[in-house]
Amino acid sequence: MIRHNFEYRAPREIEEALQILAGAGDDCAVLGGGTWLIPNMTFAAHQPGIVLDPKHLGFASISECGGEVVVGARATYVDAMRSPIAVAHLPLLVSMARGITGGISITGQGTIGGSACYGNPSSDVPACLVAMRARLRLRSIGGTRDLGASDYFLGKFATARRSDEMLVGIVFPKMTSDVRWGYYKLKFSTGSWPIVTAAAMVVNDCVRVALGAATAVPILTEMVLPADGGGEPLAELAKSCASISADEELVDELAGPGYRRRVAHSIVLRALEQCRGRE
Ligand SMILES: Cc1cc2nc3c(=O)[nH]c(=O)nc-3n(C[C@H](O)[C@H](O)[C@H](O)COP(=O)(O)OP(=O)(O)OC[C@H]3O[C@@H](n4cnc5c(N)ncnc54)[C@H](O)[C@@H]3O)c2cc1C
Which architecture, in CATH terms, is 180-277? Answer: 2-Layer Sandwich (3.30)
pLDDT of residue 191: 84
Contact 185, 124 (CB under 8 A): yes
Q: DSSP 3-state assignment of 45?
A: coil
Q: Is 122 in the pocket of ligand 1 (CB under 6 A)?
A: no
Distance from the alpha carbon of residue 13 to the mean position of ligand 1, in angstroms: 24
Q: Is 105 helix (H, G, I), strand (E, B) or coil?
A: helix
pLDDT band at 227; cut points 50, 70, 90: low
Higher pLDDT, 243 or 161: 161
Q: Check: CATH 3.30.465.10 for 62-173?
A: yes
128-169 pLDDT tens trace: 999 999 999 999 999 999 999 999 999 999 999 999 999 999
Kindly give the pairing relationship between strand 166-173 and strand 158-159. Answer: unpaired
Q: Answer yes or no: is pLDDT of 116 > 60.
A: yes
**In which order are the strands placed within the sheet that holds 62-65?**
62-65, 68-72, 166-173, 135-140, 143-148
Say whether 180-277 and 62-173 share the same fold.
no
Residue 197 and residue 183: Cα distance in Å, rounded? 7
Count of positions (residues) in the chain: 279
β-pair partners for 184: 198
Q: How many A from CA of 226 to the centre of ligand 1?
A: 40
Q: Is the CB of 32 under 6 A from ligand 1?
A: yes
Nearest to 160 by CA among 144, 142, 143, 136: 136
pTM given for the model = 0.96
Q: Is 212 in the pocket of ligand 1 (CB under 6 A)?
A: no
11-15, 88-92, 184-188, 240-244 — which is least confidently predicted? 240-244
21 Cβ closer than 6 Å to some ligand 1 atom: no
The protein residue with its alpha carbon nearest to ligand 1, atom 40, reads 167
Average pLDDT, the chain: 94
Model confidence at 71: pLDDT above 80: yes
Looking at residue 234, its pLDDT comes to: 82
Say yes or no to pLDDT of 229 above 70: no
Region 47-59 average pLDDT: 97
Each domain of the chain, given as residue ranges in start order, spans: 62-173, 180-277
